[in-house]
Amino acid sequence: MPELPEVETVRRGLLPVMEGAVIAQAEVNRPDLRWPLPERMADRLTGKRVTALRRRSKYILADLDSGETLLVHLGMSGRMLISGTQLGTFYHDHPAPQKHDHVVLHMDGGARITFNDARRFGAMDLMPTDRAQDHMLLKDLGPEPFGNDFNEPYLAARLKGRKTPIKAALLDQRIVAGLGNIYVAETLFRARISPLRLAGDLSETEANGLVPIIREVLAEAIEAGGSSLRDFRQANGELGYFSKHFQVYDREGDPCETPACTGTITRTVQSGRSSFWCPSCQR
């Protein structure tokens, strides 16, 4: 499932053609995705100007001049693809309609934004902008990794005394928003912390050190356009290339890249999810 860097990459791709533009026509081609779509969704979107396009955790939020906000969650296979406009040095013509084009936004400048989702694990909703923070998917989220509220004293306090593995703690969206399996694995490797260690056993120095590393890993991933595993594509249809820089994730059996380390990357299953790490480097 796309994590913060992938969603931020898509948001940035949509920004030039969506923010400030009017949705000339909205097409809604089915009644539901993961959950039922909002009532009269096409009517509520058509003719509305997008006043701001932002991200909260793994969700894209499009604020409309109607006082509503469109929430978009990509799910496992959802894609927001742009056509009919110049993207960098390339012009992308409108493609023929596809089977899984569930929501299509025709923007007043001629661009088309298509939400395509083969597995229908994605979601869309409309909510009052002034109460967006109370939405069921947003209300319990922790601070953004790049925000001022996510800092060393905050994280050290949230980890103190916790009896869950540090990996599970960092995946807890109530502690920090947007992190997923890939970027937690890469963060813990750079921090030289085993994913098996209990969060409450980390020293204050170790806990404090996680904050800049989390930001560093996420910033590098955004710069690379996210990580393409299976279905993820940027808004222009391109792959994300951070996966070429994985140091541990999905590298089971490969030699550790740490200089002078003779260890091998190991895969351990925690709560049904794979953890990739180097037992020699990460303690």
User: Active-site positions?
Assistant: 2-3, 58, 273
**Opening angle at CA 160, ends 174 and 144, nearest 5:** 30
CB of 156 closer than 8 Å to CB of 207: yes
CB of 265 closer than 8 Å to CB of 276: yes
* Phi/psi at 45 (5° precision): -95, -35
Q: DSSP labels for 241-278?
A: BGGGG-SSTT-TTSBP-STT---B-EEEEETTEEEEE-
Beta bridge partners of 269: 274
- DSSP-derived secondary structure letter, 49: B
Please state whether 108 falls in left (phi above 0), alpha (psi between -120 and 50) or beta: alpha
Q: Which two tokens stand for residue 217?
A: 């890993």
d(CA 94, CA 241): 25
What is the SS3 assignment for 235? Answer: coil
Q: Which two tokens stand for residue 160?
A: 């103190």
